């Protein structure tokens, strides 16, 4: 039986323009969750075992993740222990990279809104972001996070 040693199945969100200005950092993410590139995330600030971890942003959340702080860079899933496995849901473990405790996300840059999941007016305000462009023209509006 063969084992996957390395694959390039991790799909990356690319900035709309000037990628040298985009900035990333890494963080721990909640367990047993699928994250698609472009997902808006918030950080859990409520006391408990998951405090400080990141999860999908939703303006109705009450655990701190109702404040948008970043955008997921790659498709990945987290296992029951919170380990990150790059690639879409159902991917085989990538033994070349291993299971990482953290995943990368953008906190600054310009991104096409059509490539973002979970973006709403509250997230735009949380990011202190600006929008420009026209919906439906070219790739649509761009979100710039300073």
Q: Round to whole Å and give the CA distance between 8 and 143.
A: 28
Q: Looking at the predicted structure, is the pLDDT value of residue 2 above 90?
A: no
Start-to-end Cα distance in the chain: 49
Of the chain, the percentage scoring pLDDT greater than 70 comes to: 84
Average pLDDT, the chain: 89
Percent of the chain with pLDDT over 90: 75
Q: Where are the domains of the chain?
A: 19-145
Per-residue pLDDT of 61-108, as tens digits, reads 999 999 999 999 999 999 999 999 888 765 555 555 567 899 999 999
Residue (of 111, 128, 104) closest to 41 by Cα position: 104
- pTM value is 0.88
- Cα separation, 105 vs 75, in Å, equals 11
pLDDT at 87: 82
| CATH number belonging to the domain at 19-145, selected among 1.10.1760, 2.40.300, 1.10.3470, 1.20.120 | 2.40.300
In sequence order, what are the beta bridge partners of 108?
Answer: 23
- Report CA 125 to chain centroid distance, whole Å: 18
């Amino acid at each position: 039986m063969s084992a996957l040693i390395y694959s390039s199945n991790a799909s990356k969100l690319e900035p709309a323009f000037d990628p040298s200005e985009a900035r990333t950092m890494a963080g721990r993410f909640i367990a047993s969750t699928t994250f698609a590139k472009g997902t808006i995330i918030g950080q859990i600030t409520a006391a408990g075992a998951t405090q400080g971890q990141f999860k999908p942003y939703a303006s109705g959340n009450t655990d701190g993740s109702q404040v948008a702080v970043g955008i997921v860079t790659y498709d990945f899933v987290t296992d029951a222990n919170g380990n990150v496995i790059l690639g879409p849901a159902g991917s085989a473990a990538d033994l070349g990279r291993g299971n990482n405790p953290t995943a990368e996300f953008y906190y600054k840059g310009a991104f096409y809104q059509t490539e973002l999941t979970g973006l709403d007016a509250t997230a735009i305000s949380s990011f202190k972001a600006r929008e420009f462009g026209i919906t439906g023209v070219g790739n649509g509006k761009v979100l710039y996070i300073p």
